[in-house]
Amino acid sequence: MKYIVYCKPLHFIFVLLCFLSFSNSLAQSNSNIRTKINELKSKPNFNPESPIYIDLLIDLASKYKYAKPDSMKILLDESYKLSINSNYKKGESKVLYNYGHYFSEQGEKEKSLEYNLKSLEIANKHGLKSEKIKALNYMGLAFWHEGNNGNALTKYLEALTIAEEIEDTYMMSAINDNIALLYGDNADYETALAFHEKSRQISLKHNKEISLARTLLNMAVIYRELQDLDIADEMTDRCVKVFTKENSIDWLSHSFEVKGSIAIKHRKFSEALEWYSKSEKLCDEIEYILGYTKTYIGLAESYLGLKNLELAEEYAYKALQVSTDLSNSEAIKEANSILANIYSEMGEHKKAYEFQSEYLQLYKMGATEDFKQGLGVVRSELLFENQKNHLIEENNKAIAEQRLYFYLALSALFVATLFLIMIARTNKLQKKFTKILQKKQAILVKRESELRKSNETKDKLFSVIAHDLKGPINSFYSLMKLYLEKGYTKEESEKLFPRALQGIHGISEMLNNLLLWAKTQMQGAKIKPQQIDVNDIVDENIVLLNPLAERKAITIVNNIAENTLSFSDKDYISIVLRNLISNAIKFTNRNGEININAIVKGNELEVSVQDNGVGMDLETQAKLFKEDNNIMSTYGTNNEKGTGLGLSLSGDLVESNGGRIWVKSIKNKGTTMYFTMPIKSDHKKGD
């Protein structure tokens, strides 16, 4: 049973123009290459084994990789034969990696790997760096399609290093996008956007419009997953215009598929059906097998949303079939998931359970630990190995040079004397270069550690800013915009502006903590201890935070006696107390009470901030001060937004001040935060 999908008039006209433009442009592009081929053939001294002719055949073959894959195979066969006969190694390597891509698109992963490895072997042997980049990239694509993200990442990183070395900006942009797609598959959208942004900057700098459009479409997919649907939709529309102009049918099909997925996020299933139908037509036009995977899944999801379970089931099975033929693990997983939903809707719970079980099994198999270790470590190790190998190569060259001197001396009259001198000199140089190598290796190990720590600090900063700063600022911006455009009544202002003030207070608190935390992470904590009265510092912070407590009718009691002295950094201790008291206010219910106490234990002063709030479980307590615990804020009992940094920063400051920090808490009964300070001046100061 076939359903007719009626498009909106403007959409229909636009798509019709796209089709006409693509047909003409694709024909024109191929015609240009064929014209050059015919011009070569018409020359009296035409040689079919010339590199120019072979390269043109390969270029023409690559144009047919989606539109006419059979024609591509025929042209590659001819190019390979001519390259072998003329011993044209560059052409041979190019043909082989194109074979690899061809078989990858056909779902024959073993053949794809075989041909790419052959291409890589020739490229390595003959120093063909551009061809090596392409072979590694296509190997990465093949590994990615089959769900082997760890191996895919390794190939991409190796290719990226070479592309940067020879300044191949097109491949630098493409590989950064491919790395971003791997992170997107693992839901690490922040890292994915960072790599897409790097690719975008390269394309902008070198005015590569088609590369820029591909990057923007990939970024649109990320923003779709982050629920920024308006941004995703606007980016996709920009890409459609470029792909229309550049006759990139496969990417236009992908653009329509993304438009459909955005419509599904809006639960506009009829609109989604229109976009996916357009994508399917383009796939039909060029026999774009890989494009069918997500398009069929989208059609199945659209029909499911429209309660047309018969067509939903039909397209879901189509998606499963083509994904299985291509060994595309991610698409197979999605097809099983949608089939589980369809059969659940049909009431066939046994079938739904079977497909859901298969989906969960595939999901577990896809969670590769080697990839989750992160790009920073992998890339650092790769750079370290490259630099180490370079040093070893320099060492070997130096030793070979000395051996040459030895052989020259051996031919002289004083054979025995010169022989001994050269051996001694060679041994001395070997020891010298070995020491140099060891020193440089130690420097590289140190720099690799510093790079990893720097990346971790950067990732934490990006995580906090994206998670905790973006929301309050956007909310405050929207509130001010509405106020300026429409105005508020006095009653509305009295209701909304205290809430806005609370948000701004949270942003201010976050920025103060963020700046100090970043400084301690990158420069280390530098304390200035002095004799301080802890009672006075507590009173100062109670005055500062009392307006927040009064909004929830919370009482803050300072039980610390006057002249309770400690030899500590006054500013650091004030920040610690402010964070702990603020945290206690956040998680204490209305009419609650917070008590601040201090007792002397040996040479230390133990300070506690006790509340009768919501408390926390043992698992949360165990993770609270761990170094590898993710910085992530939570909402308080009055929906207050936290900074996400307070406790982490407090822990660093207490430890740099020579103290310890810990927690005791009972769920739904309250929490007590403890930390210690030295009483005398005999503790070690921070660097």
Joined together, the tokens standing for residue 476 give 């405050």
The model's confidence at residue 639, banded by pLDDT at 50, 70 and 90, is low
Please indicate, yes or no, whether residues 219 and 304 belong to a single structural domain of this protein. Answer: no
CA distance 313 to 461: 45
Compute the mean pLDDT over every residue in the chain, rounded to the nearest whole number: 79
Please state, as a whole number, how many other Cβ atoms lie within 10 Å of the Cβ of residue 380.
19
Q: What is the pLDDT of residue 554?
A: 94
Final residue of a domain: which of 368, 389, 408? Answer: 368
Determine the average pLDDT of the residues in 78-84: 91
Please indicate, yes or no, whether residues 83 and 172 belong to a single structural domain of this protein. Answer: no
The model's confidence at residue 645, banded by pLDDT at 50, 70 and 90, is low
Please indicate, yes or no, whether residues 668 and 537 belong to a single structural domain of this protein. Answer: yes
232-236, 271-275, 458-462, 663-667: which range is least confident on average? 458-462
Q: How many domains does the chain have?
A: 6
- CA atoms in the 13 A half-sphere facing the CB of 251: 22
What are the DSSP E strand ranges found in 404-485? none
For 627, phi then psi, to 5°, come to -65, -35
Nearest to 216 by CA among 204, 157, 227, 279: 204
pLDDT higher than 90, residue 413: no
Please indicate, yes or no, whether residues 151 and 172 belong to a single structural domain of this protein. Answer: no
Of all helices (H) and strands (E), which one includes residue 523?
A: helix 490-523
Q: What is the pLDDT of residue 598?
A: 95
DSSP 607: E
Please indicate, yes or no, whether residues 548 and 573 belong to a single structural domain of this protein. Answer: yes
Residue 685 lies in a domain: no
CA distance 665 to 608: 12
Determine the average pLDDT of the residues in 297-311: 93
Higher-scoring residue by pLDDT: 267, 463: 267
Please state, as a whole number, how many other Cβ atoms lie within 10 Å of the Cβ of residue 621.
15
Please indicate, yes or no, whether residues 354 and 384 belong to a single structural domain of this protein. Answer: no
Three-state DSSP at 679 gives coil
The domain in which residue 32 lies consists of 9-46
Q: Is 184 exposed, middle or buried (0-12, 13-18, 19+ CB in 10 A)?
A: buried
Of all helices (H) and strands (E), which one includes residue 670?
A: strand 670-678
Paired sense of beta strands 555-558 and 593-601, if any? parallel
Please indicate, yes or no, whether residues 137 and 186 belong to a single structural domain of this protein. Answer: no
Residue 497 lies in a domain: no
Higher-scoring residue by pLDDT: 423, 572: 572
Determine the average pLDDT of the residues in 5-18: 32
Q: How far is CA 468 from CA 224, 479, 504, 511, 620, in A?
A: 20, 18, 12, 10, 20
pLDDT higher than 80, residue 321: yes
Please indicate, yes or no, whether residues 584 and 662 belong to a single structural domain of this protein. Answer: yes
Residues counted in the chain:
687
pLDDT higher than 70, residue 365: no
Three-state DSSP at 565 gives strand
The model's confidence at residue 619, banded by pLDDT at 50, 70 and 90, is confident
pLDDT higher than 90, residue 566: yes
Cβ neighbours for 283, distance < 8 A, ≥ 6 positions apart: 253, 289, 291, 292, 295
Please indicate, yes or no, whether residues 78 and 118 belong to a single structural domain of this protein. Answer: yes
Please indicate, yes or no, whether residues 296 and 220 belong to a single structural domain of this protein. Answer: no
Final residue of a domain: which of 368, 395, 430? Answer: 368
CA distance 620 to 626: 11
Nearest to 281 by CA among 272, 292, 271, 270: 292
- The residue type at 79: S
CA distance 644 to 510: 8
Cβ neighbours for 236, distance < 8 A, ≥ 6 positions apart: 217, 220, 255, 258, 259, 262
- Residue labelled with tokens 């600022």: 473
Residue 515 lies in a domain: no
Residue 683 lies in a domain: no
Render the burial of 69-92: b for 16+ CB within 10 Å, e for the rest: beebbebbebbbebbeebebbbbb
Residue 267 lies in a domain: no
Beta bridge partners of 609: 596, 673
Residue 488 lies in a domain: no
pLDDT in tens, 527-544: 789 999 999 999 999 988
pLDDT in tens, 23-47: 344 445 566 888 888 888 888 998 9
- The residue type at 672: T
Nearest to 434 by CA among 463, 400, 399: 399
Determine the average pLDDT of the residues in 399-410: 67
Question: Using an 8 Å Cβ cutoff, are 399 and 426 in contact?
Answer: yes
Q: What is the pLDDT of residue 429?
A: 74
Please state, as a whole number, how many other Cβ atoms lie within 10 Å of the Cβ of residue 408.
11
Q: What percent of the chain has pLDDT over 70?
A: 72
Please indicate, yes or no, whether residues 428 and 410 belong to a single structural domain of this protein. Answer: yes
Higher-scoring residue by pLDDT: 131, 1: 131
Please indicate, yes or no, whether residues 622 and 661 belong to a single structural domain of this protein. Answer: yes
Residue 599 lies in a domain: yes
CATH number for 572: 3.30.565.10
Determine the average pLDDT of the residues in 319-324: 88
Give the global pTM: 0.48
pLDDT in tens, 595-617: 999 999 999 999 999 999 999 88
CA distance 37 to 60: 10
pLDDT in tens, 503-526: 666 566 656 666 665 666 555 556
Please state, as a whole number, how many other Cβ atoms lie within 10 Å of the Cβ of residue 418.
17
The model's confidence at residue 264, banded by pLDDT at 50, 70 and 90, is very high
Q: How far is CA 110 from CA 116, 263, 333, 501, in A?
A: 10, 37, 21, 61
CATH number for 156: 1.25.40.10
pLDDT higher than 70, residue 406: no
pLDDT higher than 50, residue 233: yes
Residue 214 lies in a domain: yes
